[in-house]
Structure 1
Amino acid sequence: MKISEVMTRDAKIASPTDTLQQAAKLMKACDCGVLPVGEGDRLVGMITDRDIAVRCVAEGKGPDCEVRDAMTKEVKYCFEDEDISQVCANMSDIQVRRLPVLDRNKCLVGIVSLSDLARRSAGTAKALHGIAQPSQQHNQSFAAI
């Protein structure tokens, strides 16, 4: 089965020049915590609710800050014609819960999440196991405030 058969096609997209408030409102409206950031049909980044909190709010930046100031610019992605098992293995290796989906012209065509995979694929358990592995980067036992 191909990713195109399970992905969400109507992914909402933020612009790098949108404000964080606009992005947060869009996340609220679509009940999601991540948005692809695009210029036209080209993917230029991803922004999460955590990016807004950590990269902007924690640094004293306000809701008028632009998405480009909080987004992750180096984005991992998959292609719509890739096999689900290959994408699940990749998501496990890089420990991500969502991937933007591109066509072979590198135009954004959707987004795939673990929940998309879980609803339609039996191979999700292995990906979930790999993604759920704790890493030092997210270990709160040594965090100091």
Structure 2
Amino acid sequence: MFFLPVILLFLVFYFFLLGGLFFFLKIGLISLAFQRLGLPPDLVFALLLLSLVGSGLNIPLKRIQSENLLPEQVVEFFGWKFRIPAAADSQSTVLAVNLGGAVIPGLLSLYLIWRWFSLIVLFKVATAVVTVLVNRVARPVRGLGIATPALFPPLVAA
């Protein structure tokens, strides 16, 4: 699902951000971190580019139908009161996964788990700690979904 009015603005912003990331790659700050994980600089740049471009693409997984009951109303018509029974309004919610924010980082994480499988116990402990802490601060936001403070999950994971 694309949100066209906003996506062009974000795409321009992402390419400026990508230019900054390319600069940091060239001076070696980001590539040093990823080389310690065993990834070559060209692959790092490709992953960052795919993640930035893919962040505007949500892959729908499931559509969930729900009914909202509208409250019963009392209407007065020439002195007579009529009760209008509650009506059902049908809505649907789309469950989607973001390509750049979930799929690509998830695939990178699976690769790192496969590569460093001897550390699987530490991966499980770290995942459990981050899951519990993020669950504590996550809140449902009507019309949006589950929201957390933007930098909380990566700071806890670090």
Please confirm whether the aligned pair reaches a TM-score higher than 0.5, indicating the same fold. Answer: no
TM-score (norm 2): 0.22
Higher-helix-fraction structure: 2
Instruction: Considering Cα pairs closer than 8 Å and 6+ residues apart, tell me whether 1 or 2 has the greater RCO.
Output: 1
TM-score (norm 1): 0.24
Larger radius of gyration: 2
